[in-house]
Amino acid sequence: MLAVADLIRLSKQYGTLLLMMPTLWSLVVASHGMPSLELLLIFSLGSFVMRSAGCILNDIADRRFDPFVARTKDRPLASGRLTVTEAFVVLGILILVAFGLVVRLNRLALLLSPVGILLAVLYPYTKRYLPFPQFFLGLAFGWGAIMAWAAVRNTVELPAYLIFAANIFWAMAYDTLYAVTDKEDDLKLGLKSTAILFGRHAWWMVGLLLAGFVGSLFLVGWAARLNYIYYLYLLIVGWYCLYQTLTIKKSPDGQTAFALFKSNVGVGFFLLSGFLMALTTQRLISVTG
């Protein structure tokens, strides 16, 4: 059981939370700050299940590379604690759970769900052939925002697309930081990443990506007609994005990059509270007014 827990990164849930954040932003905005408990549970548990499945797919795809990377050599498949067949069994169980969750959604959200699965399957292989696999991570991690909006409104509208775009910028930025930690090993193994693609320019490319993230979120506020409270939160997020950029410029080492990567979980929760505060105050003003 410990090997299975390690396979799905049970003790390292920042990936789940980063996947969950754009989904919850979309769910909250689409429902005017009052999402149903059922949808909250479906998309929260679904984020855990899909991230766990993604970890298994990644380890199956990378099982011949992971033994040669310091950070991944002790993973269950790389170390031989689990076989590929056992990994596929666990993956099958997770897919069944995911199916049980998605069938509770409306028809449009159900029809959109195979795209998320396809992106999860393709992503681990992009780092073999494409210099920007982080872009595909952004697509995979952002698709929940499209599905969440569809689940609430039975359509997909502009704010959902903008949240999706914002997440692509965000995921490319934070996963470039994450890729800095594996840069030397990836170079030796012939794998690709934006940390390698950007090279010594990585710090300002991260800055540009984070600027795209904040800019897209500004448009989300405009499209969803959010009040000034949301923009105050976004201003603080913008300041922290600048801090990340300047920090990685000053200390472009793996330890600093990994710490900055993990800190983006806090950014996600902070933005979630911003959406909730803005929508709650708007609702109260409309009731009292």
* pLDDT at residue 1 tops 80: no
* CA Rg value for the chain: 19
Coil, helix or strand for 200?
Answer: helix
Least confident range from 21-35, 211-225, 251-265: namely 251-265
Fold of the domain spanning 2-288: Tetracycline Repressor; domain 2 (1.10.357)
Environment class of 113 (CB within 10 Å of its CB; exposed 0-12, middle 13-18, buried 19+)? buried
pLDDT tens readout for residues 218-235: 999 999 999 999 999 999
Give the closest residue to 264 by CA, choosing from 194, 193, 210, 208: 210
- pLDDT value of position 191: 81
- pLDDT value of position 289: 58
Sequence ranges of the domains in the chain: 2-288
For the residues 50-62, what does the mean pLDDT come to? 92
Give the closest residue to 123 by CA, choosing from 102, 144, 139: 139
pTM metric for this prediction: 0.95
For the residues 169-196, what does the mean pLDDT come to? 88
| Sign of torsion over alpha carbons 47, 50, 55, 61 | negative
* pLDDT at residue 271 tops 80: yes
